[in-house]
C-alpha cells in the first residue's frame, strides 16, 4: 500500500489556516463558528465534527481523504446512529454549505439543495421515536439503497426488497440486512430481536429462504414473490407490533 502524502501537501490551502475547522469557518464566512466544530489536535487537517442544533442528530463528521484531495461527510441520528446523509466532494465550499445546513437543523432535503453532492440515505427523521415510523424509515432506506446498487445482482436484490415490502406481514417488521441477506426484527435498533428466516437474492431467478448465512442453502425459488410467501409462512404466529430496541444493550 502506498504511503499517503503529507496532509499539508495534499491540502495546502487548509494548512494555511492550521486546521480544517478554521478553513470551514472561513469558507462559511464566519457563519460556522469555531465553537460549533471539534477537531483532533493530532490530525487538525483531516477531521472535524460539526454540532447540530437538533437533539436527535449527532454531529456531522467530515473527513479528508488521505491519498487524494477529497472530503467525505456522514450525518447520523442520535438514537439508532444510522446514516441520514453522506457524500463526497472535492469542493470545500460545498462541504461548508452542507455543514452549515446540518448545524442549523435544516431538513434533510434542504441540506441536499444547499450542497448537491449530499446523498440522502432514504431514512427520514423520527424525533418522537415512534417504532412504526422508524420501521417505515428503515424500509425506505433499504428500498433507496436497493434502487441505487450497481452490482450485477442489484436488480435481483431490488426485486426481493420490493416484494418483501409489498407483503404486509413483513412490512410491519423492522428490516435489516446482514451480508446482503434481508432479515427482520420485532424491535428497532440499537438492539434487534431477530424473527423469522432470511431472504437472499442470488440472481434474477434464484432466491433463497434460509435460517443461517452459511451452511444452509434453504428453500430455493425462481421468483421473489414466492420466496417472500415462503418466509411469511415461517413467521411465528401472533407477533406483536415493533417496539424500540433496548438502548441499555448497546452500552454493554
* CA–CA dist 210, 108 (Å, integer): 37
Which of 74, 100, 120 is at the close of a domain?
A: 120
Helix 20-27 vs helix 92-103: angle between axes, to the nearest 10 degrees? 80
Tell me the residue range of the domain where 26 lies.
7-120
248 pLDDT tier (thresholds 50, 70, 90): low
Q: What confidence score (pLDDT) does residue 43 get?
A: 93
181 and 111 fall within a common domain = no
Among 224, 216, 214, 108, which Cα is nearest to 161's?
224
Q: Which residue has the cell 407477533?
A: 239
Q: pLDDT tens for residues 147-166?
A: 999 888 899 999 999 999 99
Instruction: Identify whether 196 is part of a domain.
Output: yes
Number of domains observed in the structure of the chain:
2
Which of 95, 120, 145 is at the close of a domain?
A: 120
Which of 120, 152, 185 is at the close of a domain?
A: 120
Burial (CB < 10 A; 0-12, 13-18, 19+), residue 1, is exposed
Q: Partners of 71 in the beta sheet?
A: 64, 89
Q: What confidence score (pLDDT) does residue 223 get?
A: 97
3-state secondary structure of 21: helix
100 and 146 fall within a common domain = no
Among 32, 64, 33, which Cα is nearest to 48's?
64
The 8-class DSSP code of residue 234 comes to T
216 pLDDT tier (thresholds 50, 70, 90): low
41 and 61 fall within a common domain = yes
Evaluate if residue 241 carries a pLDDT over 80.
yes
Q: What confidence score (pLDDT) does residue 250 get?
A: 47
- Using a cut of 0.85, tell me whether the model's pTM lies above it: yes
125 pLDDT tier (thresholds 50, 70, 90): very high
Instruction: Identify whether 2 is part of a domain.
Output: no
Evaluate if residue 214 carries a pLDDT over 80.
no
116 and 135 fall within a common domain = no
Amino acid at each position: 500500500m502506498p504511503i499517503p502524502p503529507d496532509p499539508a501537501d495534499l491540502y495546502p490551502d487548509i494548512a494555511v489556516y492550521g486546521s480544517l475547522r478554521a478553513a470551514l469557518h472561513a469558507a462559511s464566512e464566519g457563519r460556522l463558528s469555531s465553537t460549533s466544530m471539534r477537531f483532533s489536535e493530532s490530525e487538525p487537517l483531516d477531521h472535524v465534527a460539526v454540532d447540530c442544533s437538533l437533539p436527535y442528530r449527532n454531529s456531522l463528521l467530515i473527513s479528508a481523504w488521505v491519498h487524494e484531495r477529497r472530503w467525505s461527510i456522514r450525518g447520523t441520528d442520535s438514537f439508532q446512529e444510522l446514516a441520514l446523509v453522506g457524500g463526497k466532494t472535492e469542493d470545500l465550499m460545498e462541504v461548508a454549505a452542507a455543514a452549515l445546513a446540518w448545524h442549523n437543523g435544516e431538513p434533510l432535503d434542504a441540506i441536499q439543495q444547499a450542497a448537491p453532492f449530499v446523498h440522502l440515505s432514504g431514512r427520514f427523521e423520527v424525533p418522537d421515536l415512534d417504532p412504526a415510523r422508524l420501521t417505515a424509515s428503515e424500509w425506505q432506506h433499504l428500498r433507496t439503497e436497493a434502487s441505487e446498487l450497481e452490482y450485477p445482482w442489484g436488480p435481483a436484490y431490488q426485486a426481493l426488497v420490493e416484494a418483501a415490502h409489498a407483503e404486509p406481514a413483513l412490512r410491519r417488521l423492522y428490516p435489516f440486512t446482514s451480508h446482503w441477506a434481508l432479515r427482520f426484527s420485532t424491535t428497532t435498533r440499537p438492539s434487534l430481536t431477530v424473527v423469522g428466516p432470511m431472504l437472499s437474492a442470488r440472481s434474477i431467478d434464484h432466491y433463497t429462504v434460509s435460517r443461517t448465512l452459511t451452511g444452509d442453502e434453504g428453500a430455493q425459488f425462481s421468483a421473489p414473490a414466492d420466496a417472500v410467501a415462503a418466509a411469511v409462512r415461517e413467521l411465528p404466529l401472533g407477533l406483536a407490533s415493533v417496539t424500540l430496541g433496548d438502548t441499555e444493550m448497546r452500552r454493554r
